[in-house]
């Protein structure tokens, strides 16, 4: 076979496989998207449910810990004492 014939068929097969890959990827993406989004309900954390699996509707306590100090604020004496 001539090299031009080999190049022609190689280019045709590359374009064919590219189109098949794009179309198959499009359909597989749609199938996976529909499968993962099948459950439209909002999933809450397990802490939001009581022992019977019913959602708690009362006010919950939340605690936030804030670090209000910088290590640069402490002197060398305090670092040696082990407080920093």
The more confident residue out of 79 and 4 is 4
Judge whether 7 lies within some domain. Answer: yes
Total structural domains in the chain? Answer: 1
Judge whether 82 lies within some domain. Answer: no
Judge whether 56 lies within some domain. Answer: yes
The more confident residue out of 18 and 83 is 18
Judge whether 63 lies within some domain. Answer: yes
Judge whether 36 lies within some domain. Answer: yes
Q: What's the pLDDT at 28?
A: 96
Task: Judge contact between 73 and 79, C-beta under 8 A.
Answer: no
Judge whether 55 lies within some domain. Answer: yes
Q: What's the pLDDT at 44?
A: 76
Question: Would you call 68 helix, strand, or coil by DSSP?
Answer: coil
pLDDT tens sequence across 30-71: 999 888 877 666 677 887 888 888 888 888 777 888 877 666
Judge whether 76 lies within some domain. Answer: no
Is the torsion defined by CA of 32, 33, 38, 39 positive or negative?
positive
Domain that holds residue 59: 3-70
């Amino acid at each position: 076979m001539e090299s031009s014939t080999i190049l022609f068929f190689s280019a045709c097969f590359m374009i064919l496989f590219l189109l098949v890959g794009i179309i198959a990827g499009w359909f597989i993406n749609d199938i996976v998207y529909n499968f993962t989004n099948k459950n439209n309900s909002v999933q809450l954390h397990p802490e939001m449910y009581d022992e019977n699996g019913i959602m708690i509707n009362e006010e919950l306590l939340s605690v936030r810990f804030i670090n209000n100090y910088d290590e640069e604020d402490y002197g060398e004496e305090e670092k040696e004492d082990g407080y920093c």
